[in-house]
Structures are given as C-alpha cells and as structure tokens.
Structure 1
Amino acid sequence: MSASPFPAPAIRAMPLAVTGGALMPLMPLMPLMPLTPLMRAEMPLELVGPRLQAVCGNFAAVPMPRQHTVSGGIEVRRAGGVDFALIGQNLQRVYRDARAIRGDDREHFFLVFQDHGGALMCQGEQRVAVQAGDIVLIDSARPSEFVYDGACSQQVSVHLPRADMLARFGPALQGGVCVRRGDALGFAMRAILARMLESGQSDDAHLVEAFLGVFGSVLVERARQVPALARSAGEGVLRKALDHVALHFQDPAFHAGDLARHLGVSPRLLQRAFESLGVSPSRHILDARLAAAHASLQAAAKRGAPAVAVSVVAYDCGFNDLSFFHREFRKRFGVPPGQLGRVEPDPPLH
C-alpha cells in the first residue's frame, strides 16, 4: 500500500491529576466561555431575599456592611422539565440553616456551575473554594453556605429533585462534591448544559438524560477514589446521621445516644462512621450548635438588627449551659460571643 498523503496527527497525552491516590484525566485549561452573560442589574436589597427564596427555597441573604443595592440578577429558566436558576450578586454570603430546612417543603440537589467570579462553598465538613468553571453539588436537606465577601459572583444552579436523584443514584450522592474546571467529565457536563440553556425547549429530555448520565459517571469516578470504609454501610449511616443532626441539633436534649437509637445502630458503629470526619458524634453535634450560634450573632450584627441577648441565641441553638457555651465559643472562634456585634450583655456567669 502507498503511504497516506496526510501526515499522522501528533498525539499528545492528556494531562493527569492525582486525586485521592487515583489518576484522573484533565482537559487542557483553555479559556472557558461563560454559560451566561454577566448580569449587571441593580436590585434593591430588600427584594433580593424574597426573590432568592422564591427561586431556590429558604436561603438567607446577608449583605455587606452598609450595602443597600445588589449588582446582578436572579432568573429562572426551564428546559427538558428541569429548572435552572441564574444567580448573580455581590452579597457577603448566602446560607441555609436547619431552621430554614424545616420550614421548606422543597427538597433538591443543587448542581451549581460557577460561571463568573468565585465563592467559598461550605456544607458539612466540606470547605471548597470554587472558581469560574468549577461545579459543586449542594444537598438542600443539609445546612450550607456560600461566602462571597462582596465580590461579584454568578452561578447557574441546576435544580434536581432530591427524591428522584436518590432513587436514581442512591448512596453515591453527597453534598459537597466538587468537580474542578479541568476535569474531562465536568467539561462534558458544561457543554451539555450550555446546549440546554441555548435551546430552552421543553422537549429537551434527551439532553437532560445525557447530562445526568455524565453526572452519574462523575459519581462513579468519585466512589473509586474514596477509601473502602466510605463505600461500606458506614457511609449510609454517616449520611443519615448528618441529616438527622442538621434537623435536631437545636433541641438541647438531643445527644449522640439519641442519634444512635434513631438510626438503629450501636454507639460503637456510629462512632466508626464518624471516624472519616475526624470527629466524634458528640463533637459534631456541638460543632453544629456553635456554627449556628456564630452565624446567628454575625448575621444580627451585619444587618443592624436590634440588640439580641447572647443567652437567647445560645438557647435557640441547643445550649442549656451558658458557661459551657461561652467557653466552647471562645475556644472555637477565638473571641467571646459578645464581641461579634449588637448583643446585650448577659448577667455575670457564676
């Protein structure tokens, strides 16, 4: 046979990233076209919270000090039976706590595509800094927080019904999963999402199915990277435990023994399930109460609300011993709770 008149293309190995001991193929870090144009509308601050709640559920918006308007926009689009929220803003942070979860009858997994700017995403033990091109999964049934510190940030949030997703993917789903910009599967998900947003047709179910198929591959790859313990029954116990704590930590009578009884497991099995987080069940309950108290005091200070007593916040967050609360709060955050802002002094502790 004669030689081909066309030269053989140069073949370059796809770069690999080491993640949890596994080698993952990455797409070249070429410039990414945003999924959506940057929204620049000026929204009165008092309209942002209600609009955010109407689109995404019970999330609280915390502005920067002396902030009266928010730059960006909040829109909803629909394609193939799936809702997409376009959220642009320059707030201090947005959060969803256990009280908000209990008062919300909508449950979703939010697959959030960071489109412009960045944010710090917090859910459970996960603290992930996301930049444009990154993707993160948020579970609406667990407390979560996005911190922006006043920088312009825009996200496309794909709303996936929680019950449907659990039925489809099972225990592989867990809030806090992050897919970085250079990941090949993330690149594929982004391309399909761009097609859905461009089309906006109600009969785009085939694109939604393709999108979920790639997302399923992300979960499979992630499962291969975690230790064997995380793939065992302990993973299911831990997830259920975290969900139950998020809903009941404000009850001062709630403790680790109650958690084990609710889950139908022994205290030892519950302890082993929490070992992957590096904390005990009791410590996790305490951390949830402290984080809620810190967020409540900080939010009251930043929105200029009337003074609130530290004791009221402590009791609302599940503490029934003020001396213990003050001591653990200072140990965790480095300052006494009264230094966070507008609080009334409590009677001297004895």
Structure 2
Amino acid sequence: MISTTAQRQDGFDQWIHQINQICGAFNAQPLGSDFAGQIREYRSDALKLSFVDACQARLYRTPQQVAAGEDGKYFAVFQLDGTAGMAQGDDKVLLSAGDITLIDASRPSDFTYSENSRQLSLILPYQLVEQTLRFNQVKCGHRIAATSPIAMLSHRLILDATRQQHLTRQESEATLEAIVSLLRPAISQTDDCTDPHERIFRKTLSFIDANIRSEELCPEWLAREVGMSTRGLYRMFAKKGLVVARYIKNRRLDLCAESLRQSGKEQKLSVLGYSWGFSDSSYFSTAFKSRFGIAPGEYRKQYA
C-alpha cells in the first residue's frame, strides 16, 4: 500500500513538473486516489500546443505565479474527450467533448478535472489575437459550444494540422491566423460600441488605417484630425495598454510584413518601407528586425 501511494505521488509530481515546463507555472493538487495524467507537446514552427490528459486533478494559477511568469499569450482550450471545469475570474464553464474556451495567461485561472479529460491547449500570441480582433475586448472563460460551426471547423482544422508531418513556417502561421479568425465571432466582445469612448477609439483606429501610408501621421496630427487633445489621445490609448506612436509604427510594420509575404516581386526594401510611411530605410530595417526577429530581406526569403 505504501509503495502504491508513493508511485501515484511520483506520477502526479512528474505530471505537474511537465505541465510547468510546457505550459508555464501552475499549482496542482490531486482530487482523489485515482489520479491519472500525462501531457504531450507538439511544435511546428508557429504552432505550439499540448495534449493534456487528466483525471481527479486540479490545476490553478495564482496572481503570484502570473506575475512571475511570462504572459503575452492566450490558451485556446479544445476539449477532445471527457469533461473539465474551467474558471477565470467570475466566469466558470463546464466543457464537454467538442467545446472550446479561451484562457488569458496573464490572469489567474482554475481548472478541475473530476473525471477523465483530454484537452488540446493551443498557444495564441497576444499580438495575433489583439490585431485580429482590432482591439475589441477579448472574451475569456466562455464556452464555445461543440454544436456551433465555429467549434466544429476549429477542431477539425487544428487536429488536421497536428497530423501533418512537415508544416512550413508560412503554413503554420496561416493555420494559426485561420484559427483566430474562426474564433473571432465567439471571443470578440463587441457590445461596447454603445460606449462613446469606445466609438471614438474605433474611429481613431480606422483613421490610422486610412492614413497609414502618410508621412504626416503622428500623434499630434492624429489628435487634430479626430478632434481631441493630444493628451486625451494618449490617455485613450493608454486605457487599452497602448502607446499611440508605437501602435502606428507596429501597424505599419505588420502591413509591411504582410506585403512581403504576399508579394512575389523583388521590390526594393527601401521603396517598400517608404510606401508604408518609413522615410528612413535604416530605421525601417532596424524596427522590422526588432518586431519580427529578422531583417526584412530574410523575412521575404522565408516566403519566396
């Protein structure tokens, strides 16, 4: 009996150790004598996910663990088999096979696996989610029902992707973008549009996109054009965790990257940068490398 208990405890300790290595810092506790669990990681360039099996276990992240760990990501949790209780803040859902929920890694969370459960946990970078949702509020801890077309298509796409032997970076990025686009109607909180401040923010984002190629586009010019003070503009963006000038720069860089991915032409990089509002080619190259990790020329070669 002692050896059986020790073996079970060793299995639990190994499981939570692997969880912490793959998914980040979590606390855990067994919920009964029949604990079982394992985790398998899958990586293919931009796709980073894990298959998590658990029975009679609880996983949770405290504010201290969140503060000490790396955030900057969401977990899209696909329930493959069994059931699981998923809680984040005041939102609590019970997932059954085929359901999906979104968890914010920068906030405390609590997961309960009373019976056999199998999940696929897909990492979605903040940057991708925020850009796809155009900075609408993101709904986390809500159940996307298995019977919905969104859930069925998303499940099929991500499972098919894990069966591919050799996804290129371009293919894995496209898969990730497709998943977020599919989930967008279910995870985007759009009912804030009645808020006049939110309407002004959306109007400002649209104005930035409409004038993104203009060299004149800067915080002071933008504030005048949308009819508010520069200080008010900074405050409005700060409430979203954004800095105006940085948002404009990153938006330009993202559109440059999109052009490099889609264009087969050997356009001069200095001309490309200039066309998106970067008058200094050296600054453009440095800023691009800072955002994407490689120079624009190398980035283009990946998609040639």
- Structure 1 length-normalised TM: 0.49
**8 A Cα contact 2:44 2:172, kept in partner:** no
CA 1:141/1:216 → structure 2, altered by over 3 Å: closer, same or farther?
A: same
User: C-alpha displacement at 1:226, in angstroms?
Assistant: 3.8
Letter in 2 for 1:59: F
User: C-alpha displacement at 1:159, in angstroms?
Assistant: 1.0
Matched residue, 2:117:
153
CA 1:131/1:221 → structure 2, altered by over 3 Å: closer, same or farther?
A: closer
The secondary structure found in structure 2 opposite 1:54 is helix
**8 A Cα contact 1:112 1:157, kept in partner:** yes
1:165 to 129, 135, 157: 129
Matched residue, 2:146:
181
Letter in 2 for 1:153: S
CA distance in 1, matches of 2:151, 2:187: 12
**8 A Cα contact 2:54 2:118, kept in partner:** yes
The secondary structure found in structure 2 opposite 1:179 is coil
CA distance in 1, matches of 2:82, 2:196: 34
Query: What is the root-mean-square deviation of aligned Cα atoms in Å?
Result: 3.1
CA distance in 2, matches of 1:214, 1:158: 10
The secondary structure found in structure 2 opposite 1:50 is helix
CA distance in 1, matches of 2:100, 2:186: 15
User: C-alpha displacement at 1:264, in angstroms?
Assistant: 6.5
The secondary structure found in structure 2 opposite 1:193 is helix
CA 1:50/1:233 → structure 2, altered by over 3 Å: closer, same or farther?
A: same
The secondary structure found in structure 1 opposite 2:163 is helix
User: C-alpha displacement at 1:63, in angstroms?
Assistant: 0.7
**8 A Cα contact 2:154 2:183, kept in partner:** no
Matched residue, 2:68:
103
Structure 2 residue 100 is the aligned partner of structure 1 residue 135: yes
User: C-alpha displacement at 1:223, in angstroms?
Assistant: 4.4
1:90 to 45, 55, 58: 55
- Any gaps of 5 or more consecutive residues in structure 1? 1-41, 237-262, 270-350
CA distance in 2, matches of 1:117, 1:231: 44
User: C-alpha displacement at 1:207, in angstroms?
Assistant: 5.3
Task: Give CA deviations for 1:295-333 in whole Å, capped at 9, x if unaligned.
Answer: xxxxxxxxxxxxxxxxxxxxxxxxxxxxxxxxxxxxxxx
User: C-alpha displacement at 1:186, in angstroms?
Assistant: 1.6
Matched residue, 1:213:
178
2:15 to 44, 48, 51: 48
CA 1:198/1:230 → structure 2, altered by over 3 Å: closer, same or farther?
A: farther
Q: Identity of aligned pairs, percent?
A: 20
Q: Answer 1 or 2: which has greater helix percent.
A: 2
**8 A Cα contact 1:173 1:219, kept in partner:** no
Letter in 1 for 2:149: A
CA distance in 1, matches of 2:122, 2:165: 13
Letter in 1 for 2:31: M
Where do 1:263-278 residues align within 5 Å?
none
- Any gaps of 5 or more consecutive residues in structure 2? 1-7, 202-233, 240-304
CA distance in 1, matches of 2:144, 2:196: 19
CA distance in 1, matches of 2:89, 2:182: 23
1:203 to 157, 168, 189: 168
1:61 to 28, 49, 68: 28
**8 A Cα contact 1:172 1:219, kept in partner:** no
Q: Could you list the structure 1 runs, at least 4 aligned residues long, displaced by more than 6 angstroms after superposition.
A: none
Stretch deviating more after TM superposition (100-109 or 49-58): 100-109
Letter in 2 for 1:64: L
